[in-house]
Structure 1
Amino acid sequence: MEQKFNYHAMEDEQLFALSRQDEAAFNEIYSRYYSLLFHIAYKTLKCRQVAEDIVQDIFISLYQRREKIAFSVSLKAYLNKAVRFKIFNEMRAENIRSKYCKNVFSNESCKIVFADLETKELSQKINQVFYNLPAKCRDVFTLSRNNGYSQKDISQMLSISLSTVEKHIGKALKIFRKELSEYSYMFSAS
């Protein structure tokens, strides 16, 4: 016959001992301490995702080692120390990543390579957008921007009204603005 326990009323140490064979007991530990550990991590790191990851790592490690762990302090103190240790490691790792990024991105040759890559990517995107324009719109835009014809000249060449020429150019510019918005930082003044 299966034994039912009131996990909520149990002391931490008793609950942890039971969690070695009973997953429901471990779930109670998780429920008791998740919010507290998350709050500590989030308060320090100010990043919800990193705080959640840290707390999950602590509980995964605790679950995997639950049969071998022997506490010299209370479970609460152990978890509190674990979260602070993980926070310290995360801050140290972030500091290292930050220094690395500063070194990599401050290197002049690296800046040139990234600028070249961005320019090449932008050029490919412009071509893609251009070839996806409606045919008539693309023709009018080419005559205007690439060949330098006035709107009046284009109107006469294609036997369409001046307002139609304006609409085609406006439509093309609107499409370009929309499709190239992610590259706007490249055009802003430094």
Structure 2
Amino acid sequence: MNNTAYSRIDFFEQLYTRYHGRLVLYANKYVHDIEVAKDIVQEVFTAFWKHTEGQEFIGNAKAYLFQVARNKALNAIRDNKKLLHEADGPSAVLNEAEQSVLSNEVNPFVSLLELELEEQFEQVMNRLPQGCVEVFKMSRNDGLKNKEIAEKMGISVKMVEKHITKALRLFRKEFAELLSILF
């Protein structure tokens, strides 16, 4: 097997692993049937595989996948009008987390992104030392100045600055990939 074929397969597997679940939720937002949404996503990845055959990878694969999922979901609705009126159908079985992800009526992708950001934010916060977390929350959540934080915690202003710098450094490192995707 040549390197190009292997790279294509590897790239495809990474995309599938990363986006399959999110695409199912995204498609379900339109069709209100999780099984239909899963079928749609299967078609999306099949279309992606066929579209990239003999070509370079698509520049923004994520955007392509979500756009194709949206189009296929809308086609499914058009082809099967009853999906529009199944409010008590299989979508009622979705768990609370899935429902919250799909809560943004205007743009479900925004809800998915918000959920992912919140999860990643919590993971980073859990990796910071407790004192660093307290200082960071006082600075960012409570809007306190460094001097006020130092007085409240009984530490120097320099120590407050070190805690904030440490937290920001870790956040920049952890969110670098996500920021490069967004911007």
TM-score between both structures, scaled by the size of structure 2: 0.46
Query: Larger radius of gyration, structure 1 or 2?
Result: 1
Q: TM-score, normalised by structure 1?
A: 0.44
